[in-house]
Amino acid sequence: MCGIIGIINSDRGKPAEEATARAMAAAIIHRGPDDEGFYFRSNVALGMRRLSIIDLATGHQPISNEDGTVWVVFNGEIYNYPELRRMLIEKGHTLRTHSDTEVIVHLYEDYGDDLIQHLNGMFAFALWDEKRERLLIARDRMGEKPLYFTQLPDKTFIFGSELKAVVAHPGVGRRVNHLALRKYLQYEFVPSPHTMIEGVHKLPPAHRLILENGSLRTDRYWKLSYEGERISMSDDEAAEELTRRLRESVRMRLISDVPLGVLLSGGIDSSTVAALACETARDRVKTFSIAFEEKSFDESSYARLVANHLGTQHFEKRFTEKEMLDIVPEIPRLLDEPLGDASLIPTFLVSQFTREHVTVALGGDGGDELLAGYPTYVAHRFAGYYRSIPKIIRERLIEPVVARLPVSTDNLSFDFKAKRFVQGAALPLGTRHTVWMGSYDAEHQRALLAPEIINQCPDDAVFDEISPYDKMTGSGIADPVELMMTLDAVHYLSECVLFKVDRASMAASLETRAPFLDHTLVEFLSRIPLNQKLRGLNGKFILKRAMRDKLPPSVIKRPKKGFGMPVAKWIKGDLRQLVRDTLSPRRLKDRGLFNPEYVIKMLDEHEKNQADHRKLIWTLLMFELWPLGE
């Protein structure tokens, strides 16, 4: 696991600034505290920071081919590298190390840009072909590892694993991207290819970029689709095949030359990973969880239950509310872009705690999106029934009653869910889903943002990720739920969940691995029928069936909980001063982005229990605490 950076000057006679490259790498030292390496040739600089996981002795980067004409810097893990290494040696290649990184340069010699099709893993890499003076950059299929880039007016190309590395180059400005700001307010994250800095881009998941003769081109090399031919299996056959594929994915992700463990929340996804790790690992599996004083947010009892059932060596740490609150001012240090998901806090805490014992941890990310685990998928089915109710009854009876429900600060309280449901139920499919999952819809944004931002960035451009889903009525997908699973997998999972996990774990110098995101497993899950994922109101049906003899029944049957935080209560209490200071009228007026009167009204309503604005306020607070923008 590493962080990578690079500079390619379009002027071949202009050497890349060595000091600048080193400063860019230093900005992401947390991603790789164990080692650093650089390649300097004429107008090219490549660099990396390394967290040593595989081949500790000889895995130093950058790594080249036999004659030193192809060089690579790499962030991630190639899980099938032992098989690739054997294949390359049989074909006559000489490999000097036992690292997964080295197979990339030799695959390039044989397969060119299509080398990516041979990789099973999480990765972002940059490969420089000296002979052709050509750069190839690629990012993994599901978006586990990040990659940012920009091209300056003089055609200098700059890239890095995090935004903070790119802006460490003196030629890159820090002007806020207003379109990205609007998208962030809607989704609570910034979707690819946008970033919060004007002129800087994210390479989307499953894409590669080629820089040649000063020109850029990108293309998608893989796509998640539910439109192919479906696999016909009985429930038992599907459960058995899912178990087999998941077990193999876990086995591949247990390869490491350093200690590893499993992040165990007590939900079915992480519990499944722990159970299969116990079947596969050579040594007793270590599991890690955290506990909270706030009961409606704590699920540590389930993690202990699973650990006892499986016989793992379990580690648990209980955090006080003060310890959680102390993390909030540190969030800017963890993030290079704003993120409105407050579960970043427990994700960082469990990463930090786990890193005290191991360097690598497996987790359950991806199970909800791929196996219909979110309550919103069930809510979409209810929305159809709700829309069949006469509009006059909805508007004059149901919605006023829901609006008068008492405000609660509990995690996923009934009033919070009910108000969210009626807010979005009558909207088109994609918009409805985003209203349920996100923060500021178009109406709230028009009240919040300066008029020039609204005029500069019309709604069509802001919501272009979801507008196609509003218009889809066929497209070969039988059920709206699968449309939303697709949207979540390519949008919410990669741009929010995996962004959060990467930044939180890397801030603690912990590598995390996600067995559910093995692309061959993802392709299998996309081909089994929806009713084997969502059976009536029961999400993750086939996973629960597969694990019924491996996990306690109470874990199999428990409802989705999520990694929540008592944000609504904090804003009224211990965080009140920070919120009021950060979102003060004077500060907001100086920034010129937001309407101070609207923000104060929102804060007042929340503090007086007139409304639950937790998501709106937290999303805005995270942007205002973000340190990189101007």
Tokens read off for 527: 């081909």
φ and ψ at 627, to 5 degrees? -90, -10
Tokens read off for 63: 């790594």
Dist CA 35 CA 264 (whole Å): 30
Establish whether the linkage from the previous residue to 15 is cis, with ω within 30° of 0: no
86, with CB counted inside 10 A (0-12, 13-18, 19+), is exposed
Q: What is the DSSP letter of 286?
A: E
Dist CA 450 CA 522 (whole Å): 42
> Does residue 360 sit in helix, strand or coil?
strand
Dist CA 130 CA 325 (whole Å): 50
Residue 369 makes CB contacts below 8 A (sequence gap 6+) with 485, 488, 489, 492, 493, 497
Is 457 designated active site? no
In 338-472, alpha helices (H): 344-355, 367-370, 375-388, 391-393, 399-403, 414-424, 429-437, 442-448, 451-456, 459-462, 467-471
Amino acid at position 158, single letter: I
204-237 burial, b if ≥16 CB within 10 A, otherwise e? bbbbbbebeeeeeeeeeebebebeeeeeebeeee
524 to 1, 225, 279: CA distances (angstroms): 27, 11, 22
Which positions are catalytic? 2
